Amino acid sequence: MNRRGSIWGLASAGALLASLALCPLPPQDECTCWTARRIHGWCDFCWIGYVAGLPIRGRLLYELVDSHGHDIDATRLPCEKCRTGRDSSAFCETCGVGLVSGKAYLSKLGFALARGIVTSAADVKCALCKKNLTDHGWCDACRRGAIGNTLIPDKNLYTQAAAEWSRLKNALPFLPRCEWCAIASFTDTRCPNCRLDFRDGRPVESPPSKP
């Protein structure tokens, strides 16, 4: 899926980077990874974030998944359903957000995680669900999907979120070399540093320029 021009474009990434510089996290004197894993949060001490238990060693890429949500004024959203709080069980393609408990989530993965339940394989009896919690998968018997450490009881939402989960995992190998490439991989955009275009999460050669 091509996200050029979407809320996940590089312009949004740049705005996020500026906001992070202006509003740095308060200093931490100890590791908070244990808590961060359970709330899809960020550990400033270790400089690492977690999305469904998956470690993300890039602050900007972590923020783009938007797994923690944002407070918004729903009355200013484009469509009536979102403004009035109706049908909040679905991600709104018109507004580009999913609403959970008064917060807006800007990705389907973040929205699904907000509606899911964080758990561990030790607390689940179903063998297939246990297996799914090691990565992702759907269980027809239990009527729930798993993404990382989170169970999602909605097949349509799980399917959409699982696609973004796969894109996120595919973007991680680019982080050590260039975080902007990781972002471009996740969003199918261009890395402004390396000038690489990405399609379906992979770099593609630019067409030769016309004489």
Specify the pairing of strand 144-147 against strand 150-152.
antiparallel
Q: How many domains does the chain have?
A: 2
Q: Decide if 152 contacts 184 (C-beta within 8 A).
A: no
117 assigned to some structural domain: yes
pLDDT band at 123 (very low <50, low <70, confident <90, very high): very high
**Domain contains 46:** yes
Give CA–CA dist 111/100, Å, rounded: 7
Could you tell me if 82 and 113 lie in one domain? no
Does 79 reside within a domain?
A: yes
pLDDT in tens, 145-181: 999 999 999 999 999 999 999 999 999 999 999 999 9
Rounded to the nearest integer, the mean pLDDT of the chain is 84
Sheet holding 42-43, edge to edge: 42-43, 48-51, 54-56
Q: Please, which pLDDT band fits residue 79 given cuts at 50, 70 and 90?
A: confident
43 has which bridge partners?
48
Residue 100 and residue 54 share a domain? no
> Interhelix angle for 179-187 vs 155-171, to 10°?
150
61 vs 51, 83, 191, CA distance in Å?
11, 29, 13
Query: Which range of residues forms the domain containing residue 83?
Result: 70-105
Q: Report pLDDT for 11.
A: 46
Q: How confident is the model at residue 210 (pLDDT cuts 50, 70, 90)?
A: low
pLDDT digits 0-9 by tens, 18-53: 444 444 555 567 899 999 999 999 999 999 999 999
C-alpha distance from residue 107 to each of 22, 138, 144 (Å): 24, 20, 20
Q: Is residue 2 part of a domain?
A: no
- In the chain, the N- to C-terminal Cα span, in Å, equals 31
pLDDT of the residue at 76: 82
| 124 lies in the same domain as 139 | yes
For residue 114, the model assigns a pLDDT of 93
Which range among 6-10, 29-33, 51-55, 200-204 has the greatest average pLDDT?
51-55
Residue 75 within any structural domain of the chain: yes
Q: Under 8 Å CB-to-CB from 173, ≥6 apart: which residues?
A: none
**Looking at the predicted structure, is the pLDDT value of residue 184 above 90?**
yes
